[in-house]
Amino acid sequence: MKPIIALTIAGSDSGGGAGIQADLKTFSALGVYGTSAITAVTAQNTLGVQGYVELPPEFVGQQIDSVLSDIGAHGVKTGMVASAPIIRVIADRMVKHQVKNLVVDPVMVSATGHHLLAEDAKESLLTELFPLAYLVTPNLPEAEAITGDAIRTLKDMYAAGEKILKLGPANVLIKGGHLPGEDVIDLLMGSVGAYEFRASRIETTNTHGTGCTLSAAITAYLAKGEDLVAAVDQGKYYITRAIDSALDIGQGAGPTHHFWNLWRD
């Protein structure tokens, strides 16, 4: 059997709940062989991000070249891209290697409020990486930062989606977990049409790495040949079950359970 391969380009989370670690766990849980290119190394746990160090942009590019020139990838996702020079290198390599299934998770600020994208890098993210993306996956705070508009309702999410699509990605998935309500609504818009994905809200503080995990799950399903609507639907189911089975680890926000479908009590 020829393996399905997905590449994650993101930061390393020393706590294991987000970033590269979450992506590789998700790929593995969904039967996809995961490869990686690390953009930054964080000192991080369930209480927050204590610091991070960026890798040299040229070395990030070298990692991507090493993977794609030899192993290849059926899907690629980006997470923490850290700085404008790193973003430019990633965009250059996506074009060079003619990457098709590119999922961009616009990681800007951690759940605990630590900035993970340099102030001067936002424009590069929007103008250089977004136009190459098949899908971008902002949460509400990220969508607000991208559009400059407050998002308080589902109608606002639709308006934000239209604005983000004008930046060039083929599709956008706005994650509505920050909106109040019994259901969590994620909104997919773009070349595939418009779809609302609903799931019952799970009351838990153990949600560290949910954005990374969902975008990795979608990337895995795209790599396996699913169409985007099915990939989002299955990715949403996967992350919902991972949150529902979240691990009580550390003193703060624990991680989701990436292997909920494999581990036994």
Residue 116, pLDDT > 80, answer no
- Of these ranges, 4-8, 81-85, 118-122, 259-263, the one predicted with the greatest mean pLDDT is 4-8
- H/E segment holding residue 229: helix 228-244
The total number of residues shown for the chain amounts to 265
Residues 6+ apart with CB under 8 A from 205: 252, 253, 254
The DSSP code for 130 is G
Judge whether 26 and 220 are in contact, CB under 8 Å. Answer: yes
Mean pLDDT of 41-69: 95
Report residue 114's pLDDT band, with 50, 70 and 90 as the boundaries. low
Higher pLDDT, 118 or 202: 202
What is the pLDDT, as a whole number, of residue 161? 97
Judge whether 199 and 179 are in contact, CB under 8 Å. Answer: no
- What is the rounded CA–CA span in Å between residue 77 and residue 227? 16
Among the listed residues 26, 35, 78, 210, the single catalytic one is 210
What is the pLDDT, as a whole number, of residue 103? 98
Q: What is the mean pLDDT of the chain?
A: 93
Closest listed residue to residue 6, CA positions, set 38, 43, 31: 31
Among the listed residues 34, 39, 61, 175, the single catalytic one is 175
Among the listed residues 26, 34, 137, 212, the single catalytic one is 212
Catalytic-residue membership of 211: yes
Catalytic-residue membership of 204: no
Residue 109, pLDDT > 80, answer no
Residue 179, pLDDT > 90, answer no
Among the listed residues 11, 17, 61, 209, the single catalytic one is 209
Higher pLDDT, 253 or 220: 220
Catalytic-residue membership of 212: yes
- What is the rounded CA–CA span in Å between residue 128 and residue 124? 5
Catalytic-residue membership of 209: yes
- What is the rounded CA–CA span in Å between residue 157 and residue 151? 6
Q: How far is CA 50 from the centre of its chain?
A: 21
What is the pLDDT, as a whole number, of residue 231? 98
Residue 186, pLDDT > 80, answer yes
- Domains recognised in the chain with CATH numbers: 5-244 (3.40.1190.20)
Catalytic-residue membership of 207: yes
Mean pLDDT of 49-72: 96
Q: What is the pLDDT of residues 125-139, one digit of tens each?
A: 999 999 999 999 999
Among the listed residues 211, 235, 240, 254, the single catalytic one is 211
Mean pLDDT of 143-165: 95
What is the pLDDT, as a whole number, of residue 113? 58
Q: What is the pLDDT of residues 74-91, one digit of tens each?
A: 999 999 998 999 999 999
